A = this chain, B = another copy of it.
């Protein structure tokens, strides 16, 4: 991991409104920025943190793409999420002061490190920041419950459709194409996240391709029929 510090740049960051500074005034952003955000690079395949590491900081994804996964005693792993620009890594570690999952970069990435102690101090000074952060934590709870719904009561096709539509939405919110997706993760990662085997993921992608819902070429996926996918999710 390359810990070389680049200059802090919240103020000029293009994804500022998707990240922790959302809704803060310029002065407030400056404070947040100068006091806490250290930028660092994580190369593809490297871990930002691992299960058991002491918790010091949250990390905001600046550029790139991560996955988080929990490992079960017996080797089984469960991917718990994929994070892209503006999303916060490490929220789960606040509860025990230890990281409870691994965070691995799926492409060359950069993150902004936010020392949590100092962040909490700043939260005491800026009620605005604290209020937003409460919402950030709550939003993660909502996201997780969405995954519970997906794993607990949707069939495999519905799960994959929901996954793709969700990814597309998040890319679109970042001014990237909402229909041309480049999947940074393997079929196995997707399967783990969705509670399916990689073969099942592959088969369903092929089926969606045959049904003209998608155009699938390896990890390049183009959504051809957003409507059709949405209908699938609702369990038509």
Decide: B234 and A142 in contact? CB cutoff 8 A. Answer: no
Task: Give the residues in chain B near A149, CB-CB below 8 Å.
Answer: 70, 72, 78, 80
CB-CB under 8 A from A72, the residues of chain B are 149, 153, 235
A94 close to B (CB within 8 Å): yes
- Is chain A's interface secondary structure helix, strand, loop, or mixed overall? helix
Asked if A141 and B195 make an inter-chain contact with CB atoms under 8 angstroms apart, the answer reads no
> Is the C-beta of A92 less than 8 angstroms from some C-beta in chain B?
yes
- Give Cα distance in the complex from A87 to B216, angstroms: 45
Asked if A100 CB lies within 8 Å of chain B CBs, one says yes
How many subunits of this chain does the assembly comprise? Answer: 2
Question: How many chain A residues touch the partner (CB < 8 A)?
Answer: 47
Q: Does A144 contact B (CB under 8 A)?
A: yes
The smallest beta-carbon distance between A89 and chain B, in angstroms, is 12
CB within 8 Å for A131 and B138 given contacts A92-B145, A151-B195, A234-B74: no
Contact residues in B for A139 (Cβ distance below 8 Å): 95
Question: Within 8 Å of chain B (Cβ to Cβ): is A183?
Answer: no
**A11 CA to B153 CA, complexed, in Å:** 42
Interface residues, chain A, CB within 8 Å of chain B? 70, 72-74, 76-78, 80, 91-96, 100-101, 120-121, 123-124, 127, 130-131, 133-142, 144-145, 147-149, 151-153, 192-195, 234-235
